Amino acid sequence: MPLKRKLLGLAVAAVAVPAAVAVVPSAFAAGPDLLPLTITNDSGRGEAVHLYVLGESGGRLGYVTAAGAFTPWTGGANPPVPAPDVSIDGPAPGASRTIQVPKGLSGRMYMSFGDKLDFKLTPDGLVQPAPWAGGDANANFLFDWSEFTYNDAGVFLNSSQVDMFAVPHSVSVTGTDGRTLTTGRLKDGGRKAVIDAMSADPDFGKLVRTRSDGTVLRVLSPGKGADTGGFPADYLDGYIDRAWNTYATQDLTVRPFLDQPDKVFTGRTSGEILNFRDGSGAQVASFTKPSTSNVWGCDGNLGAPNDLVVGPIARSLCAALQRGTLGTQAVEPATDPATFYRSEPANLYNKVIHEQMVDGKAYAFAFDDVANQESLVHSGDPSSIAIRLTAF
């Protein structure tokens, strides 16, 4: 399950590391001290590509050079001051570039087209680009990122659309056995299909961001759009009310662990509260009815601690509300994608992004890994990883 974490001084969406693995890494996992990361530029665009490898290692925040050397940030201040230029030259169109990722690093790799990104330093770390925020210097830049963790449990690498949908790219890992896993690849024309579907909807069209030269830079996630005031803050309120009330007269069964089908929690709503009991009948969790904002962020009333009871139930509830399955069935999480996004109003952002992925997998919200719908690759014994910038 993804860990919500503070990274580089700002809250990030999710570094996709199973919690059990992150907490108890395998001492026997293999993998080189420096893991090759190959970036291939099949975007079809002519702008220079700038790369940044940023993250946390040994409890310190910093950046990584192309050779894989980790350097902690220094010199932050309040108000934030410009960070040094730590960009790595990316591959030319049609070419590849291999850089190194050191073991013990968790963070992001940014890729920016044409413009170098604007980062700032505070005493606590790095202020990352937030193009949904007013006044952000990166708002007119075309960029995106992938998220990764490389430790003794192996490597976890995922593309992410939790905050925005921008630059199409796939992620891959190759193990020492020669097997390669790839995910996150859009269908041909998929970026345009997502943008067109968003633009055609009166609400979701407000999430599309276009530069003055006509370049569509990104589609914001509904939560980020609502934060800026450009998307209805109460979009899901009516659906949430209906779904919550369903379980006033019938049980909601939550089986949060696919590998533990006998681990069952049973819920009933009483007014605004959804209470859950375990198999012994003991009450183990209670959730106040969430707001639309809580659903977009999987936080607040749906906050998921990193435990084995409340967190897994909260994740299941948030995924069900994001996908529109809560209130339509007696057991969550739903595992059949054909049942997702059928309630009204539907989360068109998640729905269309998943539809346009070759394998149907995406990280369109923080807990999209519930029922294994996430665009994540993992190897406990990796020999290399790769990111391919695909055509758009």
- Picking from 344, 364, 380, the residue at the C-terminal end of a domain is 344
225 occurs within a structural domain: no
**Is 22's pLDDT higher than 90?**
no
Shared-domain flag, residues 40 and 15: yes
Can you give the pLDDT at residue 13?
31
Whether 255 is covered by a domain: the verdict is: yes
The pLDDT value given to residue 171: 98
Which CATH number is 17's domain given?
2.60.110.10
For the beta carbon of residue 329, count every other beta carbon within 10 angstroms: 14
- Claim to verify: residue 58 and residue 190 sit in the same structural domain: yes
381 and 268 inside one domain = no
Residue 354: phi and psi, rounded to 5, are: -60, -40
CB environment 128-141: b (16+ within 10 A), e (fewer): bbbbbeeeebbbeb
Determine the pLDDT at residue 9: 36
Q: Could you tell me if residue 216 is inside a domain?
A: no
Q: What is the structure's pLDDT at 29? A: 57
Q: What is the mean pLDDT of residues 70-94?
A: 97
pLDDT mean over 254-274 = 96
| pLDDT tens, position by position, 160-197 | 999 999 999 999 999 999 999 999 999 999 999 999 99
Q: Is the pLDDT of residue 293 over 50?
A: yes
Higher pLDDT, 18 or 73: 73
Residue 30: pLDDT band (50, 70, 90) is: confident
Q: Are 37 and 377 in contact (CB under 8 A)?
A: no
- Which residues are tagged catalytic? 147, 163
pLDDT at 36 over 70: yes
Residue 209 lies inside a defined structural domain of this protein: no
Number of other residues whose CB lies within 10 A of the CB of residue 315: 23
CA dihedral 137, 163, 199, 216 (to 10 degrees): 40
Q: Are residues 21 and 69 in the same domain?
A: yes
Same domain for 178 and 46, yes or no, is: yes
Do 384 and 261 share a structural domain? no
- Stretch 25-30: mean pLDDT: 52
Residue 43 lies in a domain: yes
- The residue-averaged pLDDT of 50-69 equals 98
Is 230 within the bounds of a domain? Answer: no
Look at residue 1 and tell me if it is in a domain.
no
Looking at residue 19, what is its pLDDT?
Answer: 31
Claim to verify: residue 189 and residue 157 sit in the same structural domain: yes
Domain harbouring 277, CATH code: 3.30.920.50
Same domain, 28 and 54: yes
pLDDT at 1: 32
Host domain of residue 11: 6-203+350-389
Domain end: 344, 362, 377, which one? 344
Tell me how many domains the chain contains.
2
Report the first-to-last Cα separation within the chain, whole angstroms.
31
What the block records as the tokens of 12 is 């990030």
Q: Is the pLDDT of residue 272 over 50?
A: yes
Give the whole-number percent of the chain exceeding pLDDT 90.
91
In whole angstroms, what is the distance from residue 124 CA to residue 285 CA?
34
Q: Note whether 61 and 169 are same-domain residues.
A: yes
Residue 6 carries which side chain, given as an amino acid letter?
K
Q: Do 48 and 98 share a domain, yes or no?
A: yes
241 and 294 fall within a common domain: yes
> Once rounded to an integer, what is the mean pLDDT over residues 121-143?
95
* Paired tokens of 327: 């209130």
Note whether residue 217 is domain-resident.
no
Whether residues 159 and 191 share a domain: the answer is yes
In this predicted model, what pLDDT tens digit does every residue of 214-263 receive, in sequence order? 999 999 999 999 999 889 999 999 999 999 999 999 999 999 998 999 99
Residues 332-359 have pLDDT tens digits of 999 999 999 999 999 999 999 999 999 9
This prediction's pTM: 0.92
